[in-house]
Amino acid sequence: MSRIESVFKQKNHKALIAYVTVGYPSIEATLKVVPLLAECGCDIVELGIPFSDPMADGATIQRASFKALENGVHTALCLATAKKLSKKTSIPLVFMTYFNPIYQYGLAKFCNDCVASGIDGLIVPELPPEEGDELENLTGKSGVDLIYLLAPTSVEERIKLVAHKSRGFIYLVSIAGVTGTRTELPPELGKFILKVKQFAKQPVCVGFGISTPEQAAQVAQNADGVIIGSRLIQLMETDDAAMTATQMFVKETRKALDSIKV
């Protein structure tokens, strides 16, 4: 059992997964916020490797990615930062990145260096399961969970394929589109989660658009976990040195998830 899988073995527990862009607003901020997120109740943290063409990301994460690139953040620095973080916190760490940075770095070398840096999982938004065999083999050998995504538009054949291939959990995108905060979530989301769970043995976690503790609790009525990114980055942009608002938001979200009767 991987460390990611063990998160979902906790009884009566909904997973809270946070996303941060490595190096935004600075590497120092990343090294500070990730342990705080863990202390406040996050079970897993996604570390976004900044990329110049983040097609799955909305304005907030795009802005964070571009700023991180301006700060000189690159793949090797993200790996070095992950290694430092793995010594600061015991929760699983996952890289979210696009295929190009992995390809440029070298697939086998990247997977090996992920292990050396304490990375437990890998999310590549634009990598379809039909084209993931090489990376699946490499991550499988190294013990890194390769996590695939499903969109609300996914047909039953695609759902079955992702359910067969994804490791750790399935990343279910709440809406067709890009990341970003939303005032409300699609009313049919619950039905889609339940449809995916008919075919999936692994946990199903939902991301894209979850912006409040109430929305997180709503989604987690059916899902095994929720993923929050854009809202956290927005809070970090205006937060004080102690990251008080960020901590409060995560604690409130943890409390909302813990209130769910499983």
Place of tokens 């793995």: 86
CA atoms within 13 A on the CB side of 114: 31
Catalytic residue IDs: 46, 57
- Provide the β-strand partners of residue 8: none
Kindly report the number of other CB atoms within 10 A of residue 197's CB atom.
19
Inter-residue contact 117 to 83 (CB < 8 Å): yes
Distance CA 257, CA 214 (A): 9
Q: Kind of pairing, strands 93-96 and 44-48? A: parallel
Q: How far apart are CA 209 and CA 175, in angstroms?
A: 8
**Rounded CA gap, 25 and 241, in Å?**
12
* Contact criterion met (CB below 8 Å) for 58 and 178: yes
Rounded Cα gap, residues 159 and 26, in angstroms = 38
- Integer Cα distance of 74 and 112 in angstroms: 17
Quick count: other Cβ atoms within 10 Å of Cβ 98?
A: 23
